[in-house]
Amino acid sequence: MKNGFNTYHPISQFLFFASVISFTMFIMHPIILLISLAAGSLYVVFTGGISGYLNTLRLTLPTSLMIILINPLVSHGGITILSYLPDGNPFTLESVIFGIAAALLMSCTLKWFYAVNGIFTSDRVIYLFGRLSPRTALLISMILRFFSKFKAQLRIVRAAQQTLVREGSKGNMIRRIKNGVKIFSSMLQWAMENSIDTADSMNSRGYGLHKRTSYSVFKIKPSDILFIITVLAFDIYILAAYIYGAAEYSYYPMFDISFFDLYTVGIYTAFLILCFMPFIIDVREAGKWKSIRSGI
């Protein structure tokens, strides 16, 4: 079974991720951040499994803790003083709360970008941006492809070094550094050879000689149109309610936030449905496949 949302048109996917990530980054309301974190985490688990979620957790957890611990030490704004630091600067409640909010924001953003990386393949990137800037789209596509190839080649090189008893994690510090330099040298040589092969291949195929034509297998379906209209409707409502004054928040100089007035609850509801739309699509698709398989 294919991922349901993964079969949607690239424009639909781009609109969704742009909307969710933008609202997450620019509306730092705690409830919005928690909704985004829950939806992003659930989508990472659903598409990448527990291992995919643990991969994001290995990066986000230590970074989040660092932000929470460091922010009160460098930011001394706020009127609620809890204590004083050894250097005489105040340790404020507002700086602690803002550090937690910043950590949530970072975690949400990384989880959504993990989902983007799993869906936006090179052909989708070229389709979206190829007509606007073909060179930039091709460059982005090549970079994305290079990362996966680099990781695969690195595993091969490390396995070869391990076979030769030169694994960089064994021995004293000097030996590990020397083995790490050998691996780095091998990877640098591979990257240079790979770039030369790619350049020769593009040159032999006549890249840059004529005006570029494009072919695409992506077609907008009625489900894409319905999805785009729904996302735009939620976007317009959330923006209008936020401009009107809903979901107000303030971290400095005093933590002040609106939680449960009518328009704010409306933003919560709209953003909740918006964030969980891909998950709903995937669950519905899984249900269809299960029903078809049970009928065979």
What 8-state DSSP symbol labels residue 5? G
Verify that 46 and 91 share a domain, yes or no.
Answer: yes
Predicted pLDDT at 57:
87
Q: How confident is the model at residue 245 (pLDDT cuts 50, 70, 90)?
A: confident
Verify that 99 and 146 share a domain, yes or no.
Answer: no
CA of 37: how far to CAs of 11, 84, 255, 260, 294, in Å?
23, 32, 21, 20, 35
Predicted pLDDT at 225:
95
Predicted pLDDT at 99:
94
Does the residue 208 lie in any domain?
Answer: no
SS3 content of the chain, % helix, strand, coil (to 5): 75, 5, 25
How far out from the chain centre does Cα 61 lie?
Answer: 15
Mean predicted confidence (pLDDT) in 108-118:
88
Does the residue 211 lie in any domain?
Answer: no
Beta bridge partners of residue 83, listed in sequence order: 91
Residue type, 280: I
Verify that 115 and 235 share a domain, yes or no.
Answer: yes
Mean predicted confidence (pLDDT) in 16-33:
94
Predicted pLDDT at 168:
46
DSSP SS3 for 224: helix
How far out from the chain centre does Cα 273 lie?
Answer: 19
Does the residue 219 lie in any domain?
Answer: no
Q: Which domain holds residue 144?
A: 132-203
Verify that 165 and 282 share a domain, yes or no.
Answer: no
Verify that 94 and 142 share a domain, yes or no.
Answer: no
Verify that 11 and 117 share a domain, yes or no.
Answer: yes
Predicted pLDDT at 210:
63
Does the residue 218 lie in any domain?
Answer: no
Does the residue 210 lie in any domain?
Answer: no
Most confident by average pLDDT, 19-28, 42-51, 117-126, 212-221: 19-28
Average pLDDT, the chain: 84
d(CA 296, CA 290): 10
Domains in the chain, number: 2
What DSSP line would sit under 43-103, residue for residue? HHHHHHHHHHHHHHHHHHHHHHHHHHHHHHHH----S-EEEE-TTS-EEEHHHHHHHHHHH
Predicted pLDDT at 164:
67
Verify that 20 and 89 share a domain, yes or no.
Answer: yes
Verify that 83 and 160 share a domain, yes or no.
Answer: no
